[in-house]
């Protein structure tokens, strides 16, 4: 035989030369949970993940950044007494997230700080938008009223020093509204990473437990995408690009590799993908039971996400994977 593909797999050195995709710490964004408490609390629904105090948050972000992780994204657990139907706490300049942004930027000036823009951690109804009942008594999520509040939230984060705001609400028209609001207040350098194709997924369960942000009634299927749809994801991406998004995201990542690949082919914008809590927990649970090599499976799953077309990966493995890759 003249053609033997195995020649390119013969030694580690040759395999390294011909490898098409390479994972590095620079590919990762580390999601960080935070709360008002002065102690760091392990999250029962996500073994190995912690809900950080502000001091612990700054330390953890610094350790990840020292390993080469360029960015973190913040998810707050808001005290129950601060939650309201209109989520006013989300744009409190002295709130938990603005204080965390300021602390992170003061301690780590070169760290990219990304914030989640959505109402569910602050909404007493547990939804990403303002809730109202129609004349038949059915639950409705108000789109335009929600977008107005999201603009206030994004401006609050920008004033605190956020580098990127990341709307995860899936309301129509929110990217254009956020861009206009940021530009009008002089924050034209603050980027928007849009959750463009965020699916109504069962893989989010452990995350909602970490934030105590599950809907009190109903579900999120009137605004998050149906898992059976692919073309719709491209429509959402095209709209967000036209409205001024700087980057787009697919969430979840692992069960939606085909969507990542389609999105990558449809846009020149950077593409992010979120390896969500359910994906993480399945690997961790199988590894804890001794059924799989947790390190190997985690790294392979991350490589699969990158190979599908993701330029950046939000993953709870960001810090550990960076340590593994440097070993």
Give me the active site residues, please.
Answer: 198, 251
Which residue, 306, 317, 194, is CA-closest to 253?
306
Burial of 299 (0-12, 13-18, 19+ CB in 10 A): middle
Q: Which helix (H) or strand (E) holds 84?
A: none
Q: How far apart are CA 165 and CA 169, in angstroms?
A: 12
- Contact indicator for 280, 315 with CB cutoff of 8 Å: yes
CA-CA-CA-CA torsion for 221, 201, 80, 58, nearest 10 degrees? -140
Distances (CA, A) of 301 to 149, 253, 304, 317: 36, 9, 5, 11
Which residue, 232, 310, 236, is CA-closest to 273?
310
The token duo for 216 is 């009190």
Q: How far apart are CA 254 and CA 257, in angstroms?
A: 6
Which residue, 121, 33, 31, is CA-closest to 78?
121
Q: How far apart are CA 322 and CA 327, in angstroms?
A: 9
Which residue, 167, 306, 313, is CA-closest to 245?
167
- The number of C-alpha atoms within 13 Å of 235 and in the hemisphere containing its C-beta is 8
Q: What angle do CA 64, 69, 75 make, to 5 degrees?
A: 70
């Amino acid at each position: 035989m003249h053609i033997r593909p195995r020649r390119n797999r013969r030694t580690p050195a040759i395999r390294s030369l011909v490898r098409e995709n390479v994972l590095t710490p620079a590919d990762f964004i580390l999601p960080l949970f935070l709360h008002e408490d002065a102690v760091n609390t392990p999250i029962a629904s996500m073994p190995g993940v912690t809900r950080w105090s502000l001091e612990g948050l700054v330390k953890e972000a610094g350790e990840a950044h020292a390993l080469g992780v360029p960015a973190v994204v913040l998810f707050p657990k808001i005290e129950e007494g601060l939650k309201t139907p209109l989520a006013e706490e989300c744009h409190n300049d002295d709130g938990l997230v603005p204080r965390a942004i300021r602390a992170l930027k003061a301690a780590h000036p070169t760290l990219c700080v990304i914030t989640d823009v959505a109402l569910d951690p602050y909404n007493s109804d547990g939804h990403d938008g303002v809730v109202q009942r129609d004349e038949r008594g059915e639950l409705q999520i108000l789109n335009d009223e929600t977008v107005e509040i999201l603009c206030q939230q994004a401006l609050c984060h920008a004033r605190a020093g956020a580098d990127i705001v990341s709307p995860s609400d899936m309301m129509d028209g929110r990217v254009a509204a956020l861009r206009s609001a940021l530009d009008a207040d002089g924050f034209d350098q603050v980027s928007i990473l849009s959750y463009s194709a965020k699916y109504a997924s069962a893989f989010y369960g452990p995350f909602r437990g970490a934030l105590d942000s599950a809907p009190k009634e109903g579900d999120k299927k009137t605004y998050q995408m149906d898992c059976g749809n692919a073309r719709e994801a491209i429509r959402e991406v095209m709209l967000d690009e036209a409205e001024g998004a700087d980057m787009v995201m697919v969430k979840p990542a692992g069960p939606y590799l085909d969507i990542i690949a389609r999105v990558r082919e449809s846009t020149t914008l950077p593409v992010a993908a979120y390896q969500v809590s359910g994906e993480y927990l399945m690997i961790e649970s199988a590894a804890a039971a001794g059924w799989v090599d947790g390190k190997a499976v985690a790294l392979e799953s991350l490589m699969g996400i990158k190979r599908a077309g993701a330029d950046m990966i939000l993953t709870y493995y960001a810090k550990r994977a960076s340590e593994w890759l440097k070993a």
